[in-house]
Amino acid sequence: MNKEAPLSIAERDFILNALREGVRLDGRDADQLRPLKVSFGEEYGHVKVQLGKTSLIVRISSEVTKPHDDRPFDGLFTIALELTAMGSPAWDNGRQGDLETYVTNVLDRVVRHSNALDTESLCILKGVSCWSIRADVHITDYDGNLVDASCIGIMAGLLHFRRPDAVVKDGQVIVYGLDERVPVALNITHKPLAVTFHTFDEGKQVILDATRKEEQASEADVVIGINNAGDVCFVSKFSGSPVDAMVFVNKTNVALEKVKEINGVIDKALQADLAKRGKGGLAEQSRAENDR
Amino acid sequence: MTSPLILLPGDDVPPENFPASSGSAPLRLGPGLRLLSSQPTPTTSSKSHSTTHVLSTTQPGILSTDHKRNGLSMQTPPNRRYIPTANDLVIAQVHHSSPDYFHCVVTPQAPQLLLGQLSFEGASKKTRPMLKGGDLVYARVLSVGMGPGAEAELTCVNPATGKAEPGGLGPLTGGMVFDVSVGMAARLMRASSSSSAEDDDGAVAGLVILAELGRKLEKVGGFEIAVGRNGKVWVDCANGGDSAVKATVAIGRCLSAVDELGLSPADQRKLVSRVLREMKVES
């Protein structure tokens, strides 16, 4: 019961035949994203992402904890993704499927291991206290391409999040509330995003941002994690049939183009949200310059 | 006109909403209604109601009464889950087969329905269709079991006549299946069942999309369509030649756009023209 409904033979054949003619089910080009919408909630670090029919909510939160003994200068950063029955009837609450393990792994590699969030800046007092940043990803609707959508959500959330200000006074850590001092933005070193491609027809057809049906009909998937500057920080091809090496070379350029496009969407949404918050906010009240 | 009567699951249908029956015709129940009991009333005199029915709803929605056909049905919200009801036409996908039955998936993540190996038109032990997992079948829900562990059954023939009635029941080959909401599927069924009788303005439930597509795609050889009440629409443009794939995709896009956006008839016509132009299907 807790399985994705298999695709019928007719659907599989049709998707493949259509791709051979260069047609996708929703009329997109092979290298075209579905409509992407990024919006922010009331609080800092609350992001809603809508990529076609895939939608998810990311919530970033912070708390003060003790750093790991072997890394006294580093703060903590964790990504928690759980596929619950809310997102798709094919998922069970509390049971980890292959997809969940896979997506968590890719997100960890692309966002966490590429040091997108500078964890050293989260240190408050060496070996005693540091910030622990946690990103929770909640899938609310699933129509393929979970990796890219979650990555967009997490990066937008990290850029949007503001943690409370904390100072060390006489060996004592004082954390100021969000209404006491201007909250601090996280130190983001670069903005990597994952771009997923799916291959069909022995690697001859490669498409971007597949829907659920296309994912099911595909032979293999290729994930490229890349940032605005064109630094590739993650490449994977976990399973499926072999993919020609040239696909990686060619599609990296496409991925770079898409990452710039997506980051543009995120930046625009961020600017709009900050402009809205700026009016009458604490940051404006506590500015040193005034209009006199 | 009186305000529509909204009922929740478990509500009893008030007797005053029953169709004014002519006496002999049996009461026809649509999906979402269940007969709890029916008792013959003491035939005192020339009372037209010979039996008293106690009906209960199983799904929330608006009650609609059809006096002409002596029927009662529930208009349910468009995105509800499909629950098999007897006499529904559905598109089922064969999951696996056992000696006597094909086990079919009608709704994903719901119990499978059984389709007898011999319940096809003209099927005998030697001529029965050999379906394998992943094949599609257009079938009618024969019966739904009651209680836990009950199995619902599908059929592709009318048991009384041995013919595939209504026409088109049986295995579906080729083509493509598009997912629409269950409410949209119901609207398409109503629209297609009456469009043959009426002219091109026969906009049942505000749906002209199929008529419009049929007219526009006549030049590329027309298309075949089968609507399943379980929210699946099978489309095939077998005569389409080079533009068969594009025409099929165009139909799928039109259907899902109408489903999601709730377009008016005029907008539906515009949508068809726009999608066909985008897909470069000449019309």
Tens-digit pLDDT profile for residues B115-159: 999 888 888 888 888 898 899 999 999 888 777 777 889 999 887
Query: pLDDT value at position A92?
Result: 85
Query: pLDDT value at position B47?
Result: 46
Out of B50, B75, B100, a domain closes at B75
B181 and B261 assigned to the same domain: yes
CATH number, domain of B97, equals 2.40.50.140
Across the interface, do B175 and A5 touch by the CB < 8 Å criterion?
Answer: no
Does residue B80 lie within any of the structural domains?
A: no
B105 and B43 assigned to the same domain: no
B64 and B136 assigned to the same domain: no
pTM, to two decimals: 0.84
pLDDT one-digit tens code per residue, A66-124: 999 999 999 999 999 989 988 888 888 888 888 999 999 999 999 999 999 999 999 99
Query: pLDDT value at position A95?
Result: 83
Measured in whole angstroms, how far is the alpha carbon of residue A31 from the centre of its chain? 19
Contacting residues of A for B172, CB less than 8 Å apart: 10
Candidates A1, A4, A18; nearest CB to B249: A18
Query: pLDDT value at position A286?
Result: 67
Q: Which CATH superfamily is domain A9-285 in?
A: GHMP Kinase, N-terminal domain (3.30.230.70)
Q: State yes or no: pLDDT of B199 exceeds 60.
A: no
Nearest CA in chain A to B95: A6
Query: pLDDT value at position B198?
Result: 44
CA atoms within 13 A on the CB side of A281: 15
Query: pLDDT value at position A226?
Result: 94
B221 and B264 assigned to the same domain: yes
Query: pLDDT value at position B201?
Result: 42
Work out the average pLDDT over A13-40.
92
Candidates B133, B175, B279; nearest CB to A10: B175
- Conformational region of residue A179, where left means phi above 0, alpha means psi within -120 to 50, and beta covers everything else: alpha
Candidates B109, B177, B278; nearest CB to A27: B278
Work out the average pLDDT over B152-173.
84
Q: Which of A58-62, A142-146, A270-274, B159-163 has the lowest mean pLDDT?
A: B159-163
Across the interface, do B249 and A27 touch by the CB < 8 Å criterion?
Answer: yes
Query: Which amino acid, A62?
Result: S
Does residue B163 lie within any of the structural domains?
A: yes
Assess A189–B contact: CB distance below 8 Å, yes or no.
no
Across the interface, do B245 and A25 touch by the CB < 8 Å criterion?
Answer: no
Query: pLDDT value at position A280?
Result: 64
Q: How far is the first Cα of chain A from the last one, in angstroms, to the nearest whole number?
A: 68
Contacting residues of A for B95, CB less than 8 Å apart: 6
Q: State yes or no: pLDDT of B254 exceeds 50.
A: yes
Out of B172, B189, B211, a domain closes at B172
Cα A225 from Cα A236, distance rounded (Å)? 9
Contact map slice: A 84-123 vs B, CB within 8 A: 89-90
Q: State yes or no: pLDDT of B243 exceeds 70.
A: yes
Least Cα distance to A228 among A196, A266, A200, A197 occurs for A266
B182 and B122 assigned to the same domain: no
Mean pLDDT, chain A, rounded, equals: 90
Least Cα distance to B273 among B184, B196, B211, B213 occurs for B213
B152 and B242 assigned to the same domain: no
B48 and B35 assigned to the same domain: yes
Strand partners, B151: none
B14 and B58 assigned to the same domain: yes
**Apex A10 CA angle, A8 and A14, nearest 5:** 120
Neighbours of B190 (CB within 10 A): 14
Across the interface, do A90 and B109 touch by the CB < 8 Å criterion?
Answer: yes
Assess A265–B contact: CB distance below 8 Å, yes or no.
no
Does residue B82 lie within any of the structural domains?
A: no
Measured in whole angstroms, how far is the alpha carbon of residue B218 from the centre of its chain? 25
Does residue B260 lie within any of the structural domains?
A: yes
Per-residue pLDDT band at A258 (split at 50, 70, 90): very high
Cα B185 from Cα B90, distance rounded (Å)? 10
If DSSP codes are grouped into helix, strand and coil, which group holds residue B69? coil
Question: For chain B, what is the domain count?
Answer: 3
Assess B4–A contact: CB distance below 8 Å, yes or no.
no
Number of residues that this document lists for chain B: 283
What is the residue range of B121's domain?
Answer: 89-172
Work out the average pLDDT over B261-282.
86
Q: State yes or no: pLDDT of B40 exceeds 90.
A: no
Does residue B81 lie within any of the structural domains?
A: no
Indicate the pairing of strand A36-40 with strand A46-51: antiparallel
In chain A, where do the E strands start and end?
36-40, 46-51, 54-65, 76-82, 123-125, 129-141, 162-163, 166-169, 172-175, 184-185, 193-200, 205-208, 220-226, 232-236
- Determine which of A8, A13, A205 to mutate to test the interface with B (most B C-beta atoms within 10 Å): A8
Cα B252 from Cα B231, distance rounded (Å)? 13
Work out the average pLDDT over B65-71.
77
pLDDT one-digit tens code per residue, A159-204: 999 999 999 998 888 999 888 888 999 999 999 999 999 999 888 8
Across the interface, do A18 and B93 touch by the CB < 8 Å criterion?
Answer: no
More confident residue, A151 or B204: A151
Q: State yes or no: pLDDT of B80 exceeds 90.
A: no
Query: pLDDT value at position A265?
Result: 95
Across the interface, do A10 and B136 touch by the CB < 8 Å criterion?
Answer: yes
Query: pLDDT value at position A18?
Result: 92
Does residue B249 lie within any of the structural domains?
A: yes
Does residue B126 lie within any of the structural domains?
A: yes
Across the interface, do A10 and B177 touch by the CB < 8 Å criterion?
Answer: yes
Per-residue pLDDT band at A5 (split at 50, 70, 90): confident
Strand partners, A240: A220
Out of B139, B157, B172, a domain closes at B172
Question: A253 and A226 in contact (C-beta within 8 Å)?
Answer: no
Q: Tell me: ipTM over 0.90.
A: no
Query: pLDDT value at position A47?
Result: 96
Kindly list the domain boundaries of chain A, sorted by start residue: 9-285
Mean pLDDT, chain B, rounded, equals: 81
Least Cα distance to A146 among A55, A79, A222 occurs for A55
B101 and B27 assigned to the same domain: no
Cα B88 from Cα B229, distance rounded (Å)? 6
Least Cα distance to A246 among A193, A194, A197, A191 occurs for A197
Candidates A2, A6, A18; nearest CB to B134: A6
Q: Which of B18-27, B100-109, B147-156, B217-226 has the lowest mean pLDDT?
A: B18-27
Does residue B181 lie within any of the structural domains?
A: yes
Cα A252 from Cα A231, distance rounded (Å)? 10
Range ranked top by mean pLDDT from A49-63, B71-85, B110-124, B198-212 = A49-63
CATH number, domain of B252, equals 3.30.1370.10
Counting DSSP H helices and E strands in chain B, the numbers are 4, 15
Q: State yes or no: pLDDT of A284 exceeds 70.
A: no
B208 and B268 assigned to the same domain: yes
Element (H, E) at A53: none
B226 and B268 assigned to the same domain: yes
